[in-house]
């Protein structure tokens, strides 16, 4: 590993090595899995010091664990943040963070389109505790500026947006918010891109959240989340949002699986991007398809923003068929290779219908208001050969 005054190692290399020294672990090439709930102290003074935060060291795995510490160091390095916190799910990361940042009377300004469970937590959860949830089209900066108030504590969005693939200009929006008030926290869900393709903290955001279930793990065999930001706020989230409010504690074995997945993150993202580009170009020309939403297409309205802030266009595609919802259902039911399943970022190509699945927590009126159409189909392009995915989609669309 390089020292601070030497060149910075590449992303792919840091994905394999950051945060871990095998020499400090008896030469073990892979990090040990610490399957322990608690840690013994040398004496009362040491235990008291650790509980008080005056001494470094682990004392209970609900707070921290040596295996978890390695993952957190690696995630912070890859996102170019000071610190990270791993959680039991993506929603655990989001809820632990927001419970820490806001209270009754505060406002959260959010983009008009969100992942269904995030929307549900904000609309049907935090609202009950006196938090004002305000929506705006974050691609319209005038609208965002008009809705910022002295009660705004958090500005929250995804980019690209789940499920309709709008791309929000992270840098421009962060500047707008910070010009209004430097005390507002800009929080970005970076699940779709991962730090392999996009690093919101370098673009002006304060906090990044992930569903590590998706591309970070990469193999559809775990549920996890993560938060990355400056060290002070991560410690607050750890000791309040995680410890006291959610208890969304990640298991050491899950941590091990994510660390294993991250080693191949850049390779996988390159293949996801390559396949998605080919598939989007095919779908764009298909006579049964009305519209394709993918920032890698040159005529996509968000193409230029994506070129500015992303190192690749990702593996997610959304589309509308000319026959609407009925045509979408027919296509989904005819698939042979691609799997009809929610989630994303797996080796397998996954396809689903947001209005009846991941975003079904929205009422029909809410879906219409928030830009989630009844005919939208979402594709998480996998790692199979692109020509095989294309052939499967083509035969399904012919039905």
pLDDT in tens, 306-316: 999 999 999 99
Note the pLDDT tens digit of each residue in 138-197: 999 999 999 999 999 999 999 999 999 999 999 999 999 999 999 999 999 999 999 999
Position 6 scores a pLDDT of: 62
Residue 214 falls in the annotated catalytic set: yes
Residue 28 tokens read as 């073990």
- The hierarchical CATH code for the domain 266-397 is 3.90.1150.10
Q: Please give the mean pLDDT across all residues of the chain.
A: 95
- Among candidate residues 77, 111, 169, 189, the one labeled active-site is 189
Q: Are 88 and 250 in contact (CB under 8 A)?
A: yes
Q: Is pLDDT above 90 for 372?
A: no
**Spatial distance between the Cα atoms of 396 and 384, rounded to a whole number of angstroms:** 17
Position 2 scores a pLDDT of: 45
Note the pLDDT tens digit of each residue in 211-245: 999 999 999 999 999 999 999 999 999 999 999 99
Residue 171 tokens read as 């840098």
- Among candidate residues 199, 214, 238, 378, the one labeled active-site is 214
Position 4 scores a pLDDT of: 52
Residue 88 tokens read as 């039991």
**Spatial distance between the Cα atoms of 102 and 117, rounded to a whole number of angstroms:** 18
- What are the domain boundaries of the chain? 11-263, 266-397
Helices (H) and strands (E) in the chain, counts: 14, 12
Confidence of residue 354 (pLDDT cuts 50, 70, 90): confident
Position 95 scores a pLDDT of: 98
Position 38 scores a pLDDT of: 97
Residue 122 tokens read as 């904000």
Residue 189 falls in the annotated catalytic set: yes
Q: Are 367 and 376 in contact (CB under 8 A)?
A: no
Position 3 scores a pLDDT of: 47
Residue 303 tokens read as 């193409």
Position 360 scores a pLDDT of: 79
Segment 377-384 mean pLDDT: 97
Note the pLDDT tens digit of each residue in 96-125: 999 999 999 999 999 999 999 999 999 989
Residue 84: strand, helix, or coil: strand
Residue 115 falls in the annotated catalytic set: yes
Segment 135-139 mean pLDDT: 97
- Among candidate residues 20, 115, 135, 192, the one labeled active-site is 115
Q: Is pLDDT above 70 for 5?
A: no
Position 236 scores a pLDDT of: 97
Residue 362 falls in the annotated catalytic set: no
Q: Is pLDDT above 50 for 326?
A: yes
Task: Provide CB contacts within 8 A for 257, sequence distance 6+.
Answer: 217, 219, 221, 222
Q: Are 108 and 122 in contact (CB under 8 A)?
A: yes
Position 1 scores a pLDDT of: 45
Give the distance, in angstroms, between the CA of residue 338 and the centroid of all CA atoms in the same chain.
23
Instruction: Output the pTM of the full model.
Output: 0.95
- Burial label, 183 (beta-carbon count in 10 A; 0-12, 13-18, 19+): exposed
- The class that CATH gives domain 11-263 is alpha beta
């Amino acid at each position: 590993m390089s020292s601070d005054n030497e060149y910075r190692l590449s992303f792919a290399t840091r994905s394999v090595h950051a945060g871990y020294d095998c020499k400090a672990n008896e030469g073990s090439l892979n990090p040990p899995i610490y399957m322990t709930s608690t840690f013994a102290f040398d004496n009362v003074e040491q235990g008291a010091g650790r509980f008080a935060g005056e001494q470094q060291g682990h004392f209970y795995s609900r707070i921290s664990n040596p295996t978890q510490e390695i993952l957190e160091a690696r995630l912070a390095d890859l996102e170019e943040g000071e610190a990270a916190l791993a959680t039991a799910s993506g929603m655990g990361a989001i809820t632990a963070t927001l419970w820490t940042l806001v209270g009754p009377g505060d406002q959260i300004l959010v983009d008009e389109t969100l992942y269904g469970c995030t929307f549900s937590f904000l609309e049907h959860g935090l609202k009950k505790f006196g938090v004002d949830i305000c929506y705006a089209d974050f691609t319209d900066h005038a609208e965002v500026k008009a809705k910022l108030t002295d009660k705004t504590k958090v500005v929250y969005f995804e980019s690209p947006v789940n499920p309709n693939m709008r791309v929000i200009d992270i840098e421009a929006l962060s500047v707008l918010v910070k010009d209004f008030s430097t005390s507002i926290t800009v929080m970005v869900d970076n699940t779709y891109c991962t730090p392999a393709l996009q690093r919101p903290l370098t673009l002006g955001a304060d906090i990044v959240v992930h569903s590590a279930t998706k591309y970070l793990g990469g193999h559809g065999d775990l549920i996890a989340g993560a938060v990355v930001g400056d060290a002070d706020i991560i410690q607050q989230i750890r000791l309040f949002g995680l410890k006291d409010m959610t208890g969304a504690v990640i298991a050491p074995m899950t941590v091990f699986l994510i660390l294993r997945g991250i080693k191949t993150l850049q390779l996988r993202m390159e293949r996801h991007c390559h396949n998605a580009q080919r598939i989007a170009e095919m779908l764009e020309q298909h006579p049964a398809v009305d519209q394709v939403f993918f920032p890698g297409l040159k005529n996509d309205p968000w193409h230029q923003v994506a070129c500015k802030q992303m190192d690749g266009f990702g593996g997610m595609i959304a589309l509308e068929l000319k026959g609407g919802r009925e045509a979408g259902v027919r296509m989904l039911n005819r698939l042979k290779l691609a799997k009809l399943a929610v989630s994303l970022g797996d080796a397998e190509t996954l396809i689903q219908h947001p209005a009846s699945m991941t975003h079904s927590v929205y009422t029909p009126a809410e879906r219409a208001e928030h830009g989630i159409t009844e005919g939208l189909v979402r594709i998480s392009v996998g790692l199979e050969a692109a020509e095989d995915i294309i052939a499967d989609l083509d035969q399904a669309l012919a039905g």
